[in-house]
Amino acid sequence: MADTNTDTYTPPKVWTFDSENGGQFANINRPVSGPTHEQVLPRGKHPFQLYSLATPNGVKVTVMLEELLALGFSAAEYDAWLIRINKGDQFGSGFVEVNPNSKIPALMDYSGSKPIRVFESGSILMYLAEKFGVLLPTEPAARAECLSWLFWQMGSAPYLGGGFGHFYAYAPTKMEYPINRFAMEVKRELDVLDKRLAESRYVGGDDYSIADIAIWPWYGGLVLGQLYDAAEFLAVHEYTHVLRWANDIAKRPAVIRGRMVNRAMGPLASQLHERHDASDFATQTQDKLAPASE
């Protein structure tokens, strides 16, 4: 196994893959793409088939679909299937056909004459907003502001998740250099967001939009203490406007429902492994759910 001490590691001339050097992700990480096994994806009766898990990236899409249904768009009905990324479901042949990048969330739209695949959470949010004509302003200035913040999230969150979260919560040893580097960057990002939310109710402006839906599961989750157990470490109480916004959005019924869909960790009462009908939320009982295994 490679030396994980950043003070003494000297990179070799050419990097080689060490399958043991992946920490808790060692069993799924590899430096090539494509399927590892044949696996046909299940398909339900609704126009949209979502293959996902309730990580922050996954929650964006289930919140969006629940918001669309709450707005009265019955054509947004969906089946949500659980993809257990710790078991390697994202490398099944069916999943790779929907997302060649092997990451959740991935969506199939069967509502038209030809099936359409959509991957990347930001792309899925835009696709759905444009299809239903809501949660993304059409007036050019408002639209530009909303999309700027949507893409701000797509570019920024990897520092929070892949950078800070990885080294603070998941890396096999705690290393000061990367934790410092990414804590600094995440605090800078929180400050950007705090200043924006000091001047407007929602991230894009006066109205709730796909920018809020994208940003809330990451930065809202962080300040609400739902991510990496890092609220105290990052002194999130300093970001009062982000906290106001995060608490506000957390109360939305569609957000409460969306957070439950494809959740396979945490309290059993918060988990709805698959969603096929609005009544699934009401009929969810503990004995219907498999024990949390993540």
Ligand X SMILES: N[C@@H](CCC(=O)N[C@@H](CS)C(=O)NCC(=O)O)C(=O)O
Q: Which residues bind ligand X (CB under 6 A)?
A: 28, 55, 57, 85, 90, 102-105, 120-121
Looking at the Cβ atoms of 103 and 131, the one nearer to ligand X is 103
Amino acid at 148: S
> Counting Cβ atoms within 10 Å, is residue 36 exposed (0-12), middle (13-18) or buried (19+)?
middle
Looking at the Cβ atoms of 102 and 156, the one nearer to ligand X is 102
Task: Report d(CA 220, CA 227) in Å as an integer.
Answer: 9
CB of 74 to ligand X, least distance (A): 26
CB of 188 to ligand X, least distance (A): 20
CB of 33 to ligand X, least distance (A): 10
Looking at the Cβ atoms of 121 and 262, the one nearer to ligand X is 121
CB of 151 to ligand X, least distance (A): 11
Looking at the Cβ atoms of 154 and 243, the one nearer to ligand X is 154
CA dihedral 214, 220, 222, 224 (to 10 degrees): -150
Looking at the Cβ atoms of 142 and 159, the one nearer to ligand X is 159
CB of 104 to ligand X, least distance (A): 4
Residue entry with tokens 């906290």: 243
Within the chain, where are the H helices? 56-70, 93-98, 121-132, 140-158, 176-199, 210-215, 221-223, 240-250, 253-260, 279-283
CB of 92 to ligand X, least distance (A): 12
> Counting Cβ atoms within 10 Å, is residue 35 exposed (0-12), middle (13-18) or buried (19+)?
middle
Looking at the Cβ atoms of 117 and 195, the one nearer to ligand X is 117
H or E element, residue 118: strand 116-119
- Taking the CB of residue 267, how many other CB atoms lie within 10 A of it? 9
Task: Report d(CA 62, CA 248) in Å as an integer.
Answer: 18
